[in-house]
């Protein structure tokens, strides 16, 4: 019985093992490259999806701005958005007093403060209290004054309170002399134009 010539097969077997090792390394390398390419593709797809989402958000915001731009400009023109316009408020109360044919008034403006969070609704809303005192002939003079002020108001205000009192305890006279005095507090509201809190 003859034995196969191992010595003559050594070189082909060695070459076969080298080819198998190179093939295995190539398969491992290509699998690794495939995995990295898939991960890069997923990252690119996620970035593309994020860019699409940002674009859609930008389009929604642009439509929202276009839809409300006129209303925003109207609020700026009315004095609600932007800086306080104290001079216009003072002029408005004096003109409303004249429109209602009343007998003058005194006022005091307090410093501006932040509006309560429940009222602000997340906006940088500020309020400026204005105290008014004015003589009245009859009780209905007060609603007439407030209606005239609403018609002239260069901004947004709310009546915080009003109090009526008699000037003296004497019985009413037949002459047109104010016997009542109204004390009111108005709150004038403003929102910063840039949407940020002011210091």
Q: Give the pLDDT confidence of 101-137 residue by residue, as tens digits.
A: 999 999 999 999 998 888 877 788 899 999 999 999 8
Do both 41 and 121 map to the same domain? no
Residue 167, phi then psi, degrees to nearest 5: -70, -40
Whether residue 33 is contained in a domain is answered as yes
Which is higher by pLDDT, 75 or 112?
112
Structure letter (DSSP) for residue 81: B
Whether residue 198 is contained in a domain is answered as no
Whether the CB-CB separation of 164 and 181 falls below 8 Å is answered with yes
The predicted-structure confidence for 136-152, as pLDDT tens digits, reads as follows 988 999 999 999 999 99
Whether residue 171 is contained in a domain is answered as yes
Domain that holds residue 112: 86-191
% of residues, the chain, pLDDT over 90: 37
> Rounded to an integer, what distance in angstroms lies between the CA atom of residue 71 and that of residue 69?
5
Do both 172 and 152 map to the same domain? yes
Do both 150 and 73 map to the same domain? no
Do both 51 and 148 map to the same domain? no
Question: Of 78, 104, 124, at which residue does a domain stop?
Answer: 78
Q: How many domains does the structure of the chain reveal?
A: 2
Do both 92 and 124 map to the same domain? yes
Residue 198 binned pLDDT confidence (cut-offs 50, 70, 90): very low
Per-residue pLDDT, 105: 95
Whether residue 21 is contained in a domain is answered as yes
Mean pLDDT of 45-50: 89
Whether residue 199 is contained in a domain is answered as no
Does residue 30 have a pLDDT over 60?
yes
Whether the CB-CB separation of 130 and 158 falls below 8 Å is answered with no
User: pTM, whole model, 2 decimals?
Assistant: 0.61
Per-residue pLDDT, 84: 87
Question: Of 45, 60, 78, at which residue does a domain stop?
Answer: 78
Whether residue 121 is contained in a domain is answered as yes
The predicted-structure confidence for 164-197, as pLDDT tens digits, reads as follows 998 876 666 656 778 899 999 999 999 877 655 4
Burial class (CB in 10 A: 0-12, 13-18, 19+), 145: buried
Question: Of 78, 96, 115, at which residue does a domain stop?
Answer: 78
Strand intervals (E) in 48-177: 106-109, 113-114, 125-136, 156-166
> Rounded to an integer, what distance in angstroms lies between the CA atom of residue 84 and that of residue 89?
9
């Amino acid at each position: 019985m003859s034995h196969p010539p191992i010595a003559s097969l050594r070189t082909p077997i060695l070459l076969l093992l080298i080819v198998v090792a190179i093939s295995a390394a190539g398969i491992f390398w290509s699998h690794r490259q495939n995995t990295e390419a898939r991960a890069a593709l997923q990252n690119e797809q996620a970035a593309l999806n994020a860019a699409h989402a940002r674009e859609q958000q930008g389009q929604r915001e642009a439509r929202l701005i276009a839809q409300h731009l006129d209303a925003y400009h109207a609020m700026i023109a009315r004095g609600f958005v932007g800086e306080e316009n104290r001079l216009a408020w003072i002029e408005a109360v004096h003109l409303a007093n004249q429109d209602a044919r009343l007998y003058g008034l005194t006022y005091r403006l307090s410093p501006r403060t932040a509006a309560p969070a429940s009222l602000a609704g997340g906006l940088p809303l500020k309020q400026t209290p204005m105290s008014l005192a004015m003589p009245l002939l009859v009780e209905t003079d007060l609603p007439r004054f407030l209606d005239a002020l609403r018609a002239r108001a260069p901004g947004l205000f709310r009546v915080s309170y009003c109090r009526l009192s008699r000037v003296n305890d004497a019985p009413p006279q037949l002459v047109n002399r104010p016997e009542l005095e109204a004390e009111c507090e108005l709150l004038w509201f403003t929102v910063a134009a840039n949407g940020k809190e002011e210091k």
